[in-house]
Amino acid sequence: MDGNDQVLAAEDLYKFFGTAAGKFAVVREVSFSVPRGKLVTIMGPSGSGKSTLLHMVSGLEPPSGGTVHLAGHDLYALSERGRTLLRRDTIGFVFQFYNLIPNLTVAENIKLPLMIGAGEHAVVAAGGGEADAPGEDHFRQLVADFDLEAKLGSYPHQLSGGEMQRTSIARALIARPTIVMADEPTGNISTSAGEEVMRLFRRSCDELGQTILLVTHNPRDAAFSDEVHFLKDGELHEEHRLAGDAVTPDGIAHSLNTLGI
């Protein structure tokens, strides 16, 4: 695949942590890529290194070895400030525990990336003061798509788990990021709300051309993907990678069973 079609490419990533007995590899020799407009999943059990891997490819935690290219940039050749700006401009994050700001309304939480990116003008817009503010049309479309119209003035503590996660996803998409990185996004909500979240992710890829990297232990979530990689004990087992029509519940179950995870 042409490198221009890869939003993210990781090569030979390692992450070591020190213990009394010496260094321990949490992630070892991991290479994968995320094509533009696709939903790619890294799947594995708790403790397999998924979150550490996500932190490395998003610039939150430097690898002990290997390279990460994000949106055409060698991530760890940049300064710390350069990585921070690249994250701000290219990545939308979705977390298991939502990370909504408790004293902001749903509307203000969704628009937070615009506020950060556009300064005082966007702060006014977040309060609903300007109908033609940058991103307003996109905001209204996301609110409609995610069925949040009736909740815009509500605060996070007034929402259900599914509503909080839908708000979190809308926030991740509002600035039209190059890639959304989602860390166990359905792990703290009901099965039905989780399926709704994954349908929203699928729609954002198919209808908006969004690129998504998901890490999860949930086979139901992985079945919505274009590609599924399997991580066990810090290593990707690419002989079991699934792509295209092979991404089915049965195919995922077979790979998990073969790998013993």
Classify 211 in phi/psi space as left (phi over 0), alpha (psi -120 to 50) or beta: beta
Residue boundaries of the structural domains of the chain? 35-63+90-259
Alpha-carbon distance 239 to 28, whole Å? Answer: 16
Alpha-carbon distance 31 to 222, whole Å? Answer: 19
* pLDDT above 60 for 107: yes
Cβ atoms < 10 Å from Cβ of 62:
14
pLDDT in tens, 131-161: 445 578 889 989 998 899 999 999 999 999 9
The answer to whether 12 touches 65, Cβ cutoff 8 Å, is: yes
Query: Is domain 35-63+90-259 annotated with CATH 3.40.50.2000?
Result: no
Alpha-carbon distance 93 to 248, whole Å? Answer: 26
Three-state DSSP class for residue 8: strand
- Taking residues 226-243, report their average pLDDT: 94
**Separation in Å, CA 171 to CA 25, 93, 150, 235:** 34, 9, 17, 32
Q: Which residues pair with 212 in a beta bridge?
A: 39, 180
Cβ atoms < 10 Å from Cβ of 242:
22
Q: Which residues pair with 65 in a beta bridge?
A: 14
The DSSP bridge pattern shows strands 39-43 and 227-232 to be: parallel
* pLDDT above 90 for 118: no
* pLDDT above 70 for 119: no
Locus of tokens 């079945």 = 223
pLDDT in tens, 244-255: 999 999 999 999
pLDDT in tens, 161-176: 999 989 999 999 998 8
pLDDT in tens, 3-20: 568 999 999 999 998 776
pTM: 0.87
